[in-house]
Amino acid sequence: MKKIIVLLLLVAMTVSLLAGCNNSKGNDSQNTTKKTDDSKDTKDTADTKDTSGDKAAKGEVKPLKYGFISWGTADEHGRTLNAAVEWAVEAAGGEFVMDGSAISAESTIAAAENLIQAGCNIIAFCTYAGEASVPQISRLCQENKVYWTMWDTTISDADIRAMIEQDPYYVGNTNEDQYDAGYKTMKAMAEAGAKNTIVVKYGVNIPTCDERVEGATAAAKELGVNLLYEIVAPEDYKKAAQDALVAYPDADSFFLAGAGSQSPSLAAAMREAGKNKFYIGAFDYFDQMGDELKDGALTIINGGHMVTGTFSALMAINAYFDTPLSEDKYMVTIPYLTLSSYEDYEAYIQYASQGAAYTSEELQKYLKVYNPDLTLESFQEGVSKWSIADIKERKGVN
């Protein structure tokens, strides 16, 4: 019996080894050919870029293979994010290639290597797994003359920032204005009636979280809302909320700076404290948010930032088509998709989650080859419109 198992294992190992050889050989030759062509293409592009000026206006639609790196498409954000990038690539007539294996800095680098090997002309990634991947990916892209961009990212390390500033293939990045989002959320809560708020932070020393709270604090000061207490990274959100409500019985609202899925726990704590009218402002979409918005437990929620991938793609595609929006590296600020009613939620589900929020024609307006009047300012202006109202208007819904 043992001999048979050993034999079977040997056969299986030999077959898989040979299959691997065959694949890698095939891929190599294929990739080499593609890469040579691409190298030529991108080299030309880089040369063009050096003497941009009037050549920028003479850009052309070129064969495009766009490589997108993420953690996968299993969850709502990953799924909509990948789909939203595909909208942009389709609008540019390109081919979308995704690598959903990036769960660490190392696997992000590996994904970049794979996509470059697969012949991508542009790659895009995010530093959610750490900024350590950036220098290596920058080096890879320069070696292979591949344009690159980062979505939903702001580099905090000054040395890395200085390094990528010198990279001719780095285009820029997109991110949200966390301070502004925090400010607007608290403002909406105050306008709804919040007077005494407990702030709930999901982590310690996380710039995204801290900036949201800073914005909320500024709005609270301005609008006369009392910030009673700050809960930081609780193990049990409901218990933490209950404890805070016992200590501060006047509290009528929670500002949840992230981890929106904990909103039901906060709402339950409010109800059990005998408060029927309360206000919760939160970040990060979650499955139950429709119900929470419907029964009034949730006042406002921010999320829907999948277009951060769409617009970073359009930025890089403009550069690849020899029509860069700027000769310098630049950042485009993406607003959150803010939901403050069940109708907003329904519109999000229908037009952004399950459908395409932008048509190809609408996205081509963000490509200079189709819209020669496009400038960086008008690009940012268009991006800033991203909202439920904007989606409804474009879809012809009242």
Partner 1 sequence: MINVKSKSISIKAILLTVLLPIVVYAVLSCFRPDIYLQKSTFIMLLTQALSNVIIGWSMVFGMSVGLFDFSVGARILLAAFFGVHMSQRFGIAGFVIGCIVASIIIAILTGLIYASLKIPSIITGFSALLIFESLAVMYQNRITVIIGDDISIFGTSPGIYIVSVITFIAVYALFNNTKFGYQIKAIGGNEAVAKSMGINSVKIKLLTYVVGGLILAFATMVKVGYAGTITARTNMSSMSMCFTPMMGVMIGLYISSCNPVIGVFIGSFTITIVSSGLVALGIESRLQNVVVGIFLILFIGWKTNFYRIQELIRKRRHNNIPLQE
Asked if 239 touches partner 1 (CB under 8 A), the answer is yes
| 223 vs 268 by CB, closer to partner 1 | 268
Q: Cα separations (Å) of 294 from 289, 336, 348?
A: 8, 20, 14
Answer for which of 146, 171, 189, 240 binds partner 1 (CB under 8 A) is 240
Asked if 288 touches partner 1 (CB under 8 A), the answer is yes
Asked if 37 touches partner 1 (CB under 8 A), the answer is no
Selected range binding partner 1 among 31-39, 107-115, 184-192, 286-294, rule: CB under 8 A: 286-294
Query: The tokens of 336 are what?
Result: 């959150």
Size of the chain in residues:
398
Asked if 234 touches partner 1 (CB under 8 A), the answer is yes
Count interface residues toward partner 1 (CB under 8 A).
Answer: 32
Selected range binding partner 1 among 15-23, 227-235, 351-359, 385-393, rule: CB under 8 A: 227-235
Answer for which of 41, 180, 230, 362 binds partner 1 (CB under 8 A) is 230
CB of 266 to partner 1, least distance (A): 9
Answer for which of 120, 259, 280, 317 binds partner 1 (CB under 8 A) is 259
- The residues in 83-102 that bind partner 1, with binding defined as CB under 8 A, are none
Per-residue interface string for the shown chain with partner 1, residues 136-175, x marking contact by CB under 8 A = ----------------------------------------
Selected range binding partner 1 among 52-60, 118-126, 144-152, 281-289, rule: CB under 8 A: 281-289
| 79 vs 394 by CB, closer to partner 1 | 79
Asked if 243 touches partner 1 (CB under 8 A), the answer is yes
Residue 247 CB partners (closer than 8 Å, separation 6+) = 229
Q: Provide the β-strand partners of residue 302.
A: 283, 338
Asked if 247 touches partner 1 (CB under 8 A), the answer is yes
**Positions of E strands within the chain:** 65-69, 95-99, 122-125, 147-150, 170-176, 196-201, 226-232, 253-256, 279-283, 300-303, 330-334, 337-339
Asked if 255 touches partner 1 (CB under 8 A), the answer is no
HSE of 153, CA atoms in CB hemisphere, 13 A: 25
Asked if 235 touches partner 1 (CB under 8 A), the answer is yes
Asked if 377 touches partner 1 (CB under 8 A), the answer is no
Q: Give the C-alpha separation, 238 to 265, whole Å.
A: 5
| 320 vs 348 by CB, closer to partner 1 | 348
Q: What is the DSSP string of 190-229?
A: HHHT--EEEEEESSSS-HHHHHHHHHHHHHHHHHT-EEEE
Q: Give the C-alpha separation, 92 to 82, whole Å.
A: 16
Asked if 75 touches partner 1 (CB under 8 A), the answer is yes
Asked if 281 touches partner 1 (CB under 8 A), the answer is no
* Range 237-242, long-range pairs (CB < 8 A, 24+ positions): 237/200, 237/262, 237/265, 237/266, 238/265, 238/266, 238/268, 238/269, 240/200, 241/198, 241/200, 241/265, 241/266, 241/269, 241/270, 242/269, 242/272, 242/273
Query: The tokens of 353 are what?
Result: 């989650």
CB atoms within 10 A of CB 39: 15
Selected range binding partner 1 among 41-49, 164-172, 287-295, 309-317, rule: CB under 8 A: 287-295
Q: Give the C-alpha separation, 324 to 277, whole Å.
A: 51
* Range 205-210, long-range pairs (CB < 8 A, 24+ positions): 206/258, 207/154, 207/156, 207/178, 208/178, 208/258, 209/257, 209/258
Asked if 242 touches partner 1 (CB under 8 A), the answer is yes
Asked if 54 touches partner 1 (CB under 8 A), the answer is no
The answer to whether the Cα torsion of 50, 55, 57, 62 is positive or negative is: negative
Selected range binding partner 1 among 28-36, 167-175, 263-271, 357-365, rule: CB under 8 A: 263-271
Asked if 185 touches partner 1 (CB under 8 A), the answer is no
Answer for which of 1, 53, 204, 373 binds partner 1 (CB under 8 A) is 204
| 242 vs 310 by CB, closer to partner 1 | 242
CB of 310 to partner 1, least distance (A): 22
Binding site for partner 1 (CB under 8 A): 74-75, 204, 229-232, 234-240, 242-244, 246-247, 259, 261-265, 267-268, 272, 286-288, 291
